[in-house]
Amino acid sequence: MNDDMDRDLAMKIGDVLRDAEETLAVAESCTGGLIGAAITAVPGASDYFDAGLTTYAYDAKRRHLGVSRESLDEHGAVSEPVAREMAQGIRDVADVTWGVSTTGVAGPTGGSDEIPVGTVYIGVSYAAPWGTDASYSTVSRYVFDGDRAEVRAKTVEQSLEDLLAELETH
């Protein structure tokens, strides 16, 4: 990953959001605020970026995003249901058009056979106008190679790519 690519992606995202008069908020776990930092590195991000929350602990995910105790208990924080609830939660709590979430195992410890180090879930959630029934959320699972810093950096880049893909097909 390189910072120039992140900046280019963040600039494209900003242009699309600004043109559509849509807004964005992010809920980050394993990335610890790096996505929000990438988005806000672009001058004028205040036109479309509302908030970034780093909800690292189970209780923070419940308290700030409304992630259900059942999802956390049954599936664990690094799971599709939790990534989906995080993306929907930040979208709805911040009252924005788009919510993005990340949850994963950056390493070097914390992995298991089922969820190896490098496993990351990225959620993207869209709030359609009321009454249209067109709101939706997507979650993608990735397994990135590398050390903790590399996994986090690759997650930021992939999150930006996933968001941009949804913005462009929306």
Give per-residue pLDDT as tens, 62-85: 999 999 999 999 999 999 999 999
Those residues whose C-beta lies under 8 Å from the C-beta of residue 106, and which sit 6 or more positions away, are 30, 117, 118, 148, 151, 152, 155
Give per-residue pLDDT as tens, 2-46: 678 889 999 999 999 999 999 999 999 999 999 999 999 999 999
Which domains, from first to last, does the chain contain?
3-169 (3.90.950.20)
- The reported pLDDT for the residue numbered 6 is 87
Average pLDDT, the chain: 96
